[in-house]
Structure formats: C-alpha cells, structure tokens
C-alpha cells in the first residue's frame, strides 16, 4: 500500500512514520511536509534511508505542488499537516486558516480526482470546546471551537464531511486529545515544562492551573491511526482518548516529583485569552469497533518522555535556538505586554 502522509516531520507525524515503517512492512510512505518551525527532519534521522520512505518538501495549500505529488499514485492519505499551537493562533490566525482549512481542501480535491481509497483526517478534541465538569463528549457532541486554531480544525472537519457526503471521498475523521512523548516541539505544555524543569527554570502555568486535559502517549495514538488506516469505516468520526483528564497543576507536580525538583518552580502567569477549561472525550466507539486501548500508563510514559528529553538535549537545543527565543520572550518574559497587544489590536 502506498501512503501519502502529510506533516510527517512534526511531533505525531514523525512518531507515526517510525511506527508504520516498523509495524507495517507492506507500507510505502511518502512524507509531504512544508518544514515550518515545527517540522524537523532530524526527528526522522533513524528512518530517512529506509527504501520504503521518501520525503517531499511541499505546502499542502499549494494545489499545483500537491497535484505533482499525487501524480505518483497513492492508495491512501494520512493528513496530519497543520498549524497546531493555540497560543500562536491568538497571535496570528492567518497561517492556521491557510494550512488547516485551505490545505485540507486542496488535499480533499486531489483525493477526489485521484480516487484515493482511504483518507484519514487528523482532527482534535478542541473542536468540541470546553466540556463541563464530569462530562465526556462523544462524537455526537456539537462543535464549539473556542480558539482560532480549534475553529480552523472544525472548519476542516466540516469540509471533510462534505466531501464524504457529496463526492464519496472515503474519509475517516479522528479526534484525539492532548498527546505527549518524544520529538514534541517545546511550545506545548509538557515539553516546555520538562525542558524548563531539567534546567531549574520556572514552569509557567496559565491562570489558576486547574484546567484539565486528557493526556495520551503519542505511541498509543499512532497505533490508533494505524488501525484507522486499516479498518476505520469511511464516513465515520472517531474520538480517541485515554479518558483520564488531569488538572495542569497535577501534571506539573507529577513531573517535578519525577525529576526531583521543588514545586517552587511553578510560576502562575496571566491566563490565555479564551482558555478552554476542560477537555474530556468518550472514545468508546473507537475502542469497541477497532479493538484499541491505550497501553501506556501516564506516569510511566511521562518518565519515558523525560528520559528521552535527557538523552536528546541537542535536538531540543536546536529547536530552542533562533526564532524560538523571540517566541519565548513574547509569550513568557513579556507576557503581559503581549496579551495587552492581542486584546487591543
Ligand atoms: P506539529 O506542530 O508538531 O507538526 C505539524 C507538522 O505539519 C510540521 O512538520 C509542519 O512542518 C507541517 N506543516 C505545517 N504547515 C504545513 C503546510 N502548509 N504544508 C505541509 N506541511 C505543513 O503538530 P502535531 O502535534 O504533530 O499534530 C499533528 C496533527 O495532530 C495536527 O493535525 C493536529 O491538529 C493534530 N492533533 C495534535 C494533538 C497534539 O496534542 N499534538 C492533539 C490532537 C490533534
Ligand atoms: P497546550 O500544550 O498549549 O495544549 P492545548 O491548549 O492545545 O490543550 O496546553 C495544555 C494546557 O496547558 C492548556 O490548558 C494550557 C496550559 N499551558 C500552561 O499552563 N502553560 C504553558 O506554558 C502552556 C504552553 C500551556
């Protein structure tokens, strides 16, 4: 089977490429990635020479470039490429609309014209918005995206559904919760906190830190994507989650205990505008139809992620050079000023 995988140089994408090359000897993978700040071919160094893997640098929103790639002939598409960080979408939503909405449209059009046999669209739990205390959203929950990032992903989901309905593109939508694990860019909560904790630097906590996220280890999610590629029912939407939401503060306390650092490193900072309070998904449909369950317990997976960070300090250091320093200054060192600018402009 020949698979076109978009966003394979990112966090989940690079873990997925590795997992598929290992677990699916019949797959040939073409990784189409624009290599934005979040894309890093170093994350794929171990598999770059595999005869079943090739890389094409292209933008999913560039219809001509995408058409040239599709002309090579594919059986399936795994669409992960996206702008993914909520805070960046508050600063400038335009790249989110271009990549997440227009880029998805370009791929759907190509998939339709080329009669692609399977299209797995990687969405997010954030399309549902905040879940009330105690509630776990299933696939019938209405879409209430709060951030420009979430809105762009919800728009993409609706486009995918329209292509299923109108043009019979055999697409499956996966909505997953917050992932963590190796090769995650240090802008999301856990990789940023791990990097800072290991260097005795403050761990920034937005607002009161009682927001909840339903964490899943990236390897468990990559197994889920593989199953969806093989056996997901076209036209279906599936939630994927570990089903155990945790408060951000509890997650950071567990991390500090694990690395033997004091809780005084926790630093409360101004909250993120529009911050969703709680994400929690019911993934019963995916678990029963695809016989999937997460295999990695949160604490052990967190320990493995910390170990990975310790062993890959150079990878992390290169991510944190250059433009990242300005990002960190705007979002953390000068946070108050930056938030005022977002609110007033
Ligand atoms: P990431 O930010 O680490 O990587 C995104 C990748 O997409 C990068 O390699 C980047 O270069 C590439 N990309 C961006 N714009 C592109 C474009 N225009 N054309 C081609 N490539 C482009 O993201 P991630 O965390 O690995 O997320 C992957 C997917 O999973 C996304 O669709 C995201 O919305 C979804 N998701 C992520 C999480 C999470 O916790 N990380 C949770 C739920 C859903
Ligand atoms: P994040 O990793 O940005 O994922 P998302 O917003 O897509 O869920 O953030 C996870 C949670 O951690 C979210 O409630 C925001 C919070 N957070 C902080 O408290 N401090 C930080 O520095 C970051 C990046 C996030």
Give the integer Cα–Cα distance in Å for 175 and 73: 27
Q: Which of 149, 163, 183, 279 is catalytic?
A: 149
Nearest-atom index, ligand 1, CA of 103:
18
The domain 2-185+215-252+278-304: what is its CATH number? Answer: 3.40.50.720
Give the integer Cα–Cα distance in Å for 202 and 268: 9
3-state SS class at 47: coil
Could you count the other beta carbons within 10 Å of the beta carbon of residue 45? Answer: 11
The sign of the torsion formed by the CA atoms of 267, 324, 33, 143 equals positive
Say if residue 171's pLDDT is above 90. yes
pLDDT in tens, 143-159: 999 999 999 999 999 99
* Burial bucket for residue 154 (CB in 10 Å: 0-12, 13-18, 19+): buried
Residue nearest to atom 7 of ligand 2 (CA): 86
What percent of the chain shows pLDDT beyond 90?
Answer: 98
How high does pLDDT run on average in the chain?
97
Ligand 1 centre to CA of 237 (Å) is: 19
241 lines ligand 1 (CB under 6 A): no
Are 29 and 20 spatial neighbours (Cβ–Cβ below 8 Å)?
Answer: yes
* Annotation marks residue 221 as catalytic: no
pLDDT in tens, 92-148: 999 999 999 999 999 999 999 999 999 999 999 999 999 999 999 999 999 999 999
Beta strands 212-213 and 171-176, pairing class = unpaired
Are 168 and 117 spatial neighbours (Cβ–Cβ below 8 Å)?
Answer: no
Task: Please give the average per-residue pLDDT across 154-170, as a whole number.
Answer: 98
Confidence of residue 343 (pLDDT cuts 50, 70, 90): confident
pLDDT in tens, 253-282: 999 999 999 999 999 999 999 999 999 999
pLDDT in tens, 190-203: 999 999 999 999 99
3-state SS class at 179: strand
* Residue spans per domain, the chain: 2-185+215-252+278-304
Q: Which of 126, 187, 212, 220 is catalytic?
A: 126
pLDDT in tens, 319-334: 998 899 999 999 999 9
Nearest-atom index, ligand 1, CA of 81:
7
Q: Which ligand is nearest to the CA of 241?
A: 1
Confidence of residue 344 (pLDDT cuts 50, 70, 90): confident
Say if residue 306's pLDDT is above 80. yes
> Which of 206, 269, 320 maximizes ligand 2 atoms within 8 Å of its Cβ, making it the mutation to test the pocket?
206
Residue nearest to atom 17 of ligand 1 (CA): 59
Strands (E), the chain: 2-6, 28-33, 53-57, 76-79, 118-124, 171-176, 179-180, 203-206, 212-213, 216-217, 237-240, 246-247, 266-269
Q: What is the pLDDT of residue 342?
A: 86
* Annotation marks residue 149 as catalytic: yes
């Amino acid at each position: 089977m020949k698979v076109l995988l978009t966003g394979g140089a990112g966090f989940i994408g690079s873990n997925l490429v590795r997992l598929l090359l290992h677990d699916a000897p019949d797959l040939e993978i073409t990784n189409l990635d624009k290599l934005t700040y979040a894309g890093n071919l170093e994350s794929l160094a171990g598999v770059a020479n595999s005869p079943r893997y090739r890389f094409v640098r292209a933008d999913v929103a560039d219809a001509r470039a995408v058409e040239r790639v599709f002309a090579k002939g594919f059986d399936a598409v795994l669409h992960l490429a996206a702008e993914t960080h909520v805070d960046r979408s508050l600063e400038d939503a335009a790249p989110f609309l271009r990549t997440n909405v227009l880029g998805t449209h370009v791929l759907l059009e190509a998939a339709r014209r080329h009669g692609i046999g399977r299209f797995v669209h990687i969405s997010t739990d954030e399309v549902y918005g905040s879940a009330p205390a105690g509630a776990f959203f299933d696939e019938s929950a209405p879409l209430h995206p709060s951030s420009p990032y979430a809105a762009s992903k919800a728009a993409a989901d609706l486009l995918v559904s329209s292509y299923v309905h109108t043009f019979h593109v055999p697409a499956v939508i996966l909505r997953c919760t917050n992932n963590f694990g190796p090769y995650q860019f240090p802008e999301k909560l856990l990789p940023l906190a791990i990097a800072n904790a290991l260097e005795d630097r403050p761990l920034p906590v937005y607002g009161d830190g009682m927001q909840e996220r339903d964490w899943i280890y990236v390897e468990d999610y990559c197994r889920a994507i593989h199953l969806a590629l093989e056996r997901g029912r076209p036209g279906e939407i599936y939630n994927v989650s570990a089903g155990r939401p945790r408060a951000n503060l509890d997650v950071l306390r567990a991390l500090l205990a694990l690395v033997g650092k004091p809780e005084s490193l926790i630093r409360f900072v101004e909250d993120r505008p529009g911050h969703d309070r709680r994400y929690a998904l019911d993934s019963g449909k995916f678990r029963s139809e695809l016989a999937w369950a997460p295999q990695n317990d949160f604490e052990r997976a967190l320990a493995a992620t910390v170990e990975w960070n310790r062993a890959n300090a150079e990878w992390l250091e290169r991510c944190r050079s250059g433009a990242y320093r300005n990002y960190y200054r705007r979002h953390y060192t000068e946070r108050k000023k930056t938030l005022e600018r977002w609110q007033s402009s």
